[in-house]
């Protein structure tokens, strides 16, 4: 498979310096309202649990977005056109991109970016043989930070971003705006016109549907949430007792977001890397926000970031939306 390259940006960090994970966990546990960024869910077990979530009957986003992509593949392909390099932000299992690569006429390249490097590398390997004419370059890194990308492929007309799954919902509106601006810069660095971003966005809906999606009856979302503590124990020498914390997820209508927390069942002290953290009974660690948008609200945000919202597709129950955001020429 000589169409596949794995690119690991070298981290410039002295050995004695804590990892970003360690730094963020300590800062988050020291804060008045304890919180840890949701991006740390995705170690290899967390990534597997997330794939299980995507198959749950209550978790509608994955299958709904997939159907939207399939039902509208021809129209999407006609808008995007031939000879593009697809840049996927947070590629994870690299599943949905198959639908896009299958639909596009003559895709030139695929550049998936994901924080979980080993998981991504394993997920992408089968794509190299399935799409022998597509140059695949894997970038392991955090796309929420300024990340150096390899130069655009000479054979590609332009770069097209792909950000499915409503991962943008895990950012605050300010972070979402910053992501969109950053994505616009990365995609615009390509040569000719035609660049844009195909992005999946979960919609505001009946809170009962949302509640069920984040409190599944099989307990997979709870395991996904609690795995963060397991990861801290393993990687940061922590002593969290997983049985002493509960998964708690609820819809916060004022902010149009699901909040996920881990709630301490009783007063306790936890040690992470020799630092002690006290928890009162009922005190929580805020582990995730999942914002839901109205179509108009999302279009406004995209315009603010410099995109031109040019098309939107949704399902018959208006659960989920897929937007084509064109990038006007600089």
Q: 235, 326 in Cβ contact below 8 A?
A: no
Contact status: 264 vs ligand AVI (CB under 6 A):
no
Contact status: 321 vs ligand AVI (CB under 6 A):
no
Interface with ligand AVI by CB under 6 A: which range of 108-116, 124-132, 163-171, 230-238? Answer: 163-171
The pairing of beta strand 158-163 with beta strand 196-202: parallel
For the chain, the helix, strand and coil percentages under 3-state DSSP, each to the nearest 5: 40, 25, 35
By CB under 6 A, name the one of 131, 143, 163, 214 that touches ligand AVI: 214
Q: How distant, in Å, are the alpha carbons of 29, 92, 112, 168, 224 from that of 163?
A: 30, 11, 10, 8, 21
Interface with ligand AVI by CB under 6 A: which range of 71-79, 102-110, 117-125, 162-170? Answer: 162-170
Q: 242, 272 in Cβ contact below 8 A?
A: no
Contact status: 46 vs ligand AVI (CB under 6 A):
no
Q: 268, 245 in Cβ contact below 8 A?
A: no
Q: 62, 202 in Cβ contact below 8 A?
A: no
Neighbours of 249 (CB within 10 A): 20
Q: Which residue is nearest to ligand AVI (CB)?
A: 290
By CB under 6 A, name the one of 46, 169, 194, 196 that touches ligand AVI: 169
Interface with ligand AVI by CB under 6 A: which range of 123-131, 147-155, 166-174, 268-276? Answer: 166-174
Contact status: 62 vs ligand AVI (CB under 6 A):
no
CA distance 197 to 83: 15
By CB under 6 A, name the one of 288, 323, 325, 327 that touches ligand AVI: 288
Q: 56, 301 in Cβ contact below 8 A?
A: no
Q: 307, 289 in Cβ contact below 8 A?
A: no
Contact status: 165 vs ligand AVI (CB under 6 A):
yes
By CB under 6 A, name the one of 166, 190, 227, 321 that touches ligand AVI: 166
Shortest Å distance, C-beta 193 to ligand AVI: 30
Q: Which residues bind ligand AVI (CB under 6 A)?
A: 53, 61, 165-167, 169-170, 214, 221, 288, 290
């Amino acid at each position: 498979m000589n169409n596949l390259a794995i690119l690991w940006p070298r981290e410039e960090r002295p050995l004695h310096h804590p990892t970003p994970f360690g730094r963020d966990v300590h800062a988050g546990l020291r804060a008045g309202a304890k919180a840890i960024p949701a991006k740390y869910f995705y170690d290899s077990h967390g990534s597997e649990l997330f794939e299980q979530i995507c198959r749950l009957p209550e978790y509608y986003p994955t299958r709904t977005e997939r159907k939207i992509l399939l039902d509208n593949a021809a129209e999407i392909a006609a808008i995007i056109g031939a000879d593009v390099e697809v840049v996927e932000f947070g590629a994870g299992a690299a599943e949905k991109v198959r639908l896009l690569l299958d639909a596009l006429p003559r895709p030139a390249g695929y550049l998936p970016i994901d924080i979980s490097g080993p998981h991504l590398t394993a997920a992408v390997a089968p794509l190299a043989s399935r799409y022998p004419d597509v140059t695949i370059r894997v970038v392991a890194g955090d796309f929420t930070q300024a990340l150096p990308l390899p130069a655009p492929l000479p054979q590609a007309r332009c770069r097209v971003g792909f950000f499915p799954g409503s991962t943008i919902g895990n950012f605050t509106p300010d972070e979402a705006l910053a992501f969109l601006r950053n994505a616009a810069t990365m995609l615009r660095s390509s040569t000719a016109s035609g660049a844009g971003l195909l992005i999946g966005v979960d919609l505001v809906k009946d809170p009962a549907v949302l509640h069920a999606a984040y409190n599944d009856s099989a307990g997979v979302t709870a395991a996904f949430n609690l795995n963060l503590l397991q990861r801290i124990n393993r990687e940061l020498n922590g002593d969290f007792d997983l049985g002493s914390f509960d998964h708690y997820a609820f819809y916060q209508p004022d902010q149009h977001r699901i909040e996920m927390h881990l709630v301490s069942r009783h007063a306790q002290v936890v040690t992470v890397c020799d630092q002690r953290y006290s928890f009162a009974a009922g005190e929580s660690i805020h582990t995730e926000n999942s914002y839901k948008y109205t179509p108009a609200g999302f279009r406004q945000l995209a315009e603010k970031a410099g995109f031109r919202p040019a098309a939107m597709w949704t399902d018959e129950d208006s659960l989920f939306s897929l937007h084509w955001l064109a990038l006007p020429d600089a």
